[in-house]
């Protein structure tokens, strides 16, 4: 049996995973050559990654705003031992250096300072007198989550506990993104499960010592971003992004504010099963992952809204290519800039082929920090737009399972408030039996009614694209153009 035959017999999920792994290996082979990850020696200074430095600058510019606060909110029902819970969080902070790292301002330059011993701050809010209504819980949680971090004085992790009843609470785990990414959430939940269970039973921590820390990754990155490797990466990104539109002219409901704002909301939608299966089937035909097909469809959707044929979107990627980093809490996310090339009124199948070529090329350079790409391209800076792209495209796997705590039922809870770091974010969650989507939007720019209408148009476009992949871009975009023009 040929390799192509074996590839064709894999399930869609295994095929997508295999392609992702192959692309990551190809991308990482040269990146890691001669500059492997290693543990810092005693006395070596702790350095920040490029992404951490950029987040620090943004937090200074925004005066500590909450746009980069991430919250994990859990409803706990049952008997909670708060002392044991706080001890477990203290151990997690002690295990992961990034959770006990302060970032100080040394003449406009961010400098990391590692605390030897630290405990996360803890705040409790009691809403029992008001009957523990959902509105009271949401208001209390928003107050806890929205409080800005002072990165020079505060640990980037804090805990809030909202008491709803004698045996019902909502716990808010608030982390600044400078210390955490999406995969870190699963690590935190796993460690919380292990530690709370052990401490409740009087046992010591069952977790093994971590072989490396996030600072070791930051030190590797600093060594890698030098010499000939730096020159090659700069050359690639300058060539890849040359001549494209750096501003996507989305039709707004409200005038754009003079400075960036971050109040957001999210509209969720479902992709019919037959459409999601057809998207994956088209990917199999074109040897493309589901994300490559989604990238193509998103390009057609944004073309329909703007009429632009050559523009950029950003997409998050994880840089946990070493096994030692899989169990670390840290900010391993980079943003890869992906170009949409839609000139010539191509068929949807052709757009998928173009997207596959773009993603294969760009994934081979995914380690190069987005902040350095911006410096290489040098776009004209404006205070009310993100540089290079204004739409973020995300493909996510299933959310991590809530921690399993003895005597407690833990469940994830959404409290109805969001932040938006981009004009729009188009997100897709690839579950084993369904493909779900959402549009996160900046409320200063768009009305929720508009985004609700656009989400329906996006689902409609996905269905029409896979029903006839030979359909031209102009035909796919026509319903969107008609909707923008109005009756």
Return per-residue pLDDT of the chain as tens, 487 residues.
Answer: 434 444 444 554 445 545 554 454 444 444 444 457 889 888 888 999 999 998 898 887 765 467 788 899 999 999 999 999 999 999 999 999 999 999 999 999 999 999 999 999 999 999 998 777 888 998 999 899 888 899 999 999 999 999 999 999 999 999 999 999 989 999 999 999 999 999 999 999 999 999 999 999 999 999 999 899 999 999 999 999 999 988 999 999 999 998 888 889 999 999 999 999 999 999 999 999 999 999 999 999 999 999 999 999 999 999 898 899 999 999 999 999 999 999 999 999 999 999 999 999 999 999 999 999 998 998 887 888 888 999 999 998 887 889 999 999 999 987 766 778 899 999 999 987 889 999 999 999 999 999 999 999 999 999 999 999 999 999 999 999 888 876 5
Whether 77 and 179 map to the same domain: the answer is yes
CB count, 10 Å around CB of 71? Answer: 18
Which residue range is the domain that position 108 belongs to? 50-215
DSSP state of 58: H
Whether 345 and 437 map to the same domain: the answer is yes
Whether 209 and 126 map to the same domain: the answer is yes
Whether 257 and 355 map to the same domain: the answer is yes
CATH number, domain with residue 388: 3.30.559.30
Distance CA 339, CA 245 (A): 10
H-state helical runs in 307-429? 348-363, 370-377
Whether 449 and 421 map to the same domain: the answer is yes
Whether 99 and 126 map to the same domain: the answer is yes
- Residue 38: CB partners within 8 Å, gap ≥ 6? 212, 216, 220
Residue 145 in domain = yes
Structural domain count of the chain: 2
Global pTM reads: 0.86
Query: Exposed, middle or buried, 200 (CB in 10 Å: 0-12/13-18/19+)?
Result: middle
């Amino acid at each position: 049996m040929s390799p192509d035959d074996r590839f064709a017999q894999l399930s869609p999920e295994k095929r997508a995973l295999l392609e992702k792994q192959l692309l990551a290996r190809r991308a990482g082979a040269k990146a890691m050559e001669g500059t492997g990850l290693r543990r810092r020696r005693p006395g070596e200074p702790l350095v920040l990654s490029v992404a951490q430095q950029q987040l620090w600058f943004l937090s200074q510019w925004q005066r500590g705003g909450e746009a980069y606060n991430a919250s994990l909110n859990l409803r706990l029902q049952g008997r909670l031992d708060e002392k044991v819970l706080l001890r477990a969080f203290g151990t997690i902070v002690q295990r992961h250096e990034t959770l006990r790292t302060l970032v100080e301002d040394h003449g406009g330059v961010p400098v990391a300072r590692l605390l030897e011993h630290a405990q996360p701050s803890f705040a409790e809010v009691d809403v029992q007198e008001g009957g523990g209504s959902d509105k009271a819980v949401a208001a209390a949680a928003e107050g806890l989550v929205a409080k800005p971090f002072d990165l020079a004085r505060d640990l980037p992790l804090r805990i809030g506990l909202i008491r709803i009843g004698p045996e019902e609470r909502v716990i808010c785990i608030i982390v600044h993104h400078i210390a955490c990414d999406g995969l870190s959430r699963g690590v935190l939940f796993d460690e919380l499960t292990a530690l709370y269970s052990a401490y409740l039973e009087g046992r010591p921590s069952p977790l093994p010592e971590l072989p490396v820390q996030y600072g070791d990754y930051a030190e590797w990155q600093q060594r890698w971003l030098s010499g000939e490797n730096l020159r090659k990466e700069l050359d690639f990104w300058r060539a890849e992004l040359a001549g494209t539109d750096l501003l996507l002219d989305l039709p707004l409901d409200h005038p754009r504010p003079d400075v960036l704002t971050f109040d957001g909301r999210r509209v969720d939608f479902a992709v019919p099963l037959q459409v999601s299966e057809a998207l994956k089937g088209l990917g199999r035909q074109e040897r493309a992952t589901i994300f490559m097909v989604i990238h193509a469809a998103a390009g057609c959707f944004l073309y329909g809204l703007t009429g632009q044929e050559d523009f950029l979107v950003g997409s998050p990627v994880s840089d946990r290519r070493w096994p030692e980093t899989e169990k670390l809490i840290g900010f391993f996310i980079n943003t890869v800039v992906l170009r949409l090339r839609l000139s010539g009124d191509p068929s949807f199948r052709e757009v998928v082929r173009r997207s596959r070529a773009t993603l294969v090329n760009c994934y081979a350079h995914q380690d190069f920090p987005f902040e350095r790409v911006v410096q290489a391209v040098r776009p004209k800076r404006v205070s009310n737009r993100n540089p290079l792209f204004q739409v973020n495209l995300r493909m996510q796997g299933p959310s991590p399972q809530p921690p399993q705590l003895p005597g407690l039922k833990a469940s994830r809870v959404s409290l109805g408030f969001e932040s938006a770091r981009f004009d729009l974010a188009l997100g897709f969650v690839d579950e084993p039996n369904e493909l779900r989507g959402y549009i996160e939007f900046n409320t200063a720019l768009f009305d929720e009614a508009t985004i609700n209408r656009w989400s329906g148009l996006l689902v409609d476009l996905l269905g029409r694209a896979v029903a006839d992949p030979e359909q031209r871009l102009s035909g796919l975009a026509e319903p969107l153009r008609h909707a923008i023009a109005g009756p």
